Structure 1
Amino acid sequence: MRNTASTWAVAAVLALTAAAASAQPAGYTGPSNAPKAAAQGAYAGPVNVPLMTVRQLLDAGRDDQPARLQGRIVSFEGNERYTFEDATGRITVEIDDEDFPAGQTVSAEHRVELLGEFDKGLRKTEFEVDRVTLLP
């Protein structure tokens, strides 16, 4: 009976260790390098969504308005929330792991383009990202 209990204890510790290893680190270093499911294809052609600055979006943006932003993701805030910055200001952005470029690491030094939708509510204002593209 004791061997069975210790076997289950070891299995539980290994499962917890594996789960912890795949969690996002507390400080922002970009998305996890853990293996993802098979990458899906994505549209890479021209986009007619207007390029805006953070200031323009915050000052005149409408709820659910599509937009593109160019700048840097400067910090990870937790729970899929990041701080994005351009020359005009900062905004909280929500980015799902699968919306980062497949097979590429994004850090605070990389310039990126975010394609998504402005979420302007009474209690929060953020940009919900559909796609992150690394800029040259």
Structure 2
Amino acid sequence: MTQTIQRPAFLRTLLASAALAGALAAGGAAAQGYSGPSTNPATATQQQGYAGPSSIKVISVKELTATGRDDQKAILRGRIVSHDGDDHYTFDDGTGQIRVDIDDDDFPVGVKIDDKTQVELHGELGKGRRGVEFEVDEIRVIQ
């Protein structure tokens, strides 16, 4: 006769709680945002990725909103001037403003970004039910 050993319910609950706590702690440690995760140079890392020339052109907000097509890849240069909740921000390049969608993990690690920081946003134009929005894939700080 085969005998199965069942773990007590409290042990399963304990293991599930420990796993959840670990996941939350890891997520909290990696959280980033508009003002940057840290200004401590000891924890800052360099931005990674290709930094050479691109066939995708730098375009102004005014030109992109006037003539851009849905899913058009573009590069914008200017400033993120406000956080509008969740992943939504307002970007201004001096020719106009556009709503941008930036995931927390797209912000460079260890770099403080505020409304005075000049940035370069790489992404694509989105036109849909929510209106016009620039969906950011990468942020680079302009030195």
TM-score, length-scaled by structure 2: 0.68
Instruction: Evaluate the alpha carbon distance shift between residue 132 and residue 125 of structure 1 in structure 2; reply closer, same or farther with a 3 A threshold.
Output: same
Say whether 1:99 aligns with 2:82. Answer: no
Structure 1: state its 5+ residue gaps. Answer: 1-14
| Rg (Cα) greater in structure | 2
1:31/1:97 contact within 8 Å kept: no
CA distance in 1, matches of 2:37, 2:131: 26
User: Equivalent residue of 2:84, what SS?
Assistant: strand
* RMSD (Å), alpha carbons: 2.8
CA distance in 1, matches of 2:57, 2:46: 27
**Aligned ranges 1:1-136 → 2 under 5 Å:** 30-33=35-38, 41-136=48-143
Structure 1 residue 51, shift from structure 2 partner: 0.7
Structure 2: state its 5+ residue gaps. Answer: 1-20, 39-44
TM-score, length-scaled by structure 1: 0.71
Structure 1 residue 114, shift from structure 2 partner: 0.3
CA-to-aligned-CA distance 1:24-59 (integer Å, 9 cap, x gap): 8xxx952444xxxx9994222222211110110110
2:37/2:111 contact within 8 Å kept: no
1:30/1:105 contact within 8 Å kept: yes
Letter in 1 for 2:66: D
CA distance in 1, matches of 2:65, 2:107: 23
Letter in 2 for 1:124: G
- Residue matched to 1:10: none
Sequence identity, in percent?
Answer: 45
Letter in 2 for 1:30: S
CA distance in 2, matches of 1:71, 1:39: 21
Instruction: Evaluate the alpha carbon distance shift between residue 121 and residue 45 of structure 1 in structure 2; reply closer, same or farther with a 3 A threshold.
Output: same
1:66/1:117 contact within 8 Å kept: yes
Q: May I ask how many residue pairs the two structures share in their alignment?
A: 113
CA distance in 2, matches of 1:29, 1:50: 25
CA distance in 2, matches of 1:63, 1:126: 10
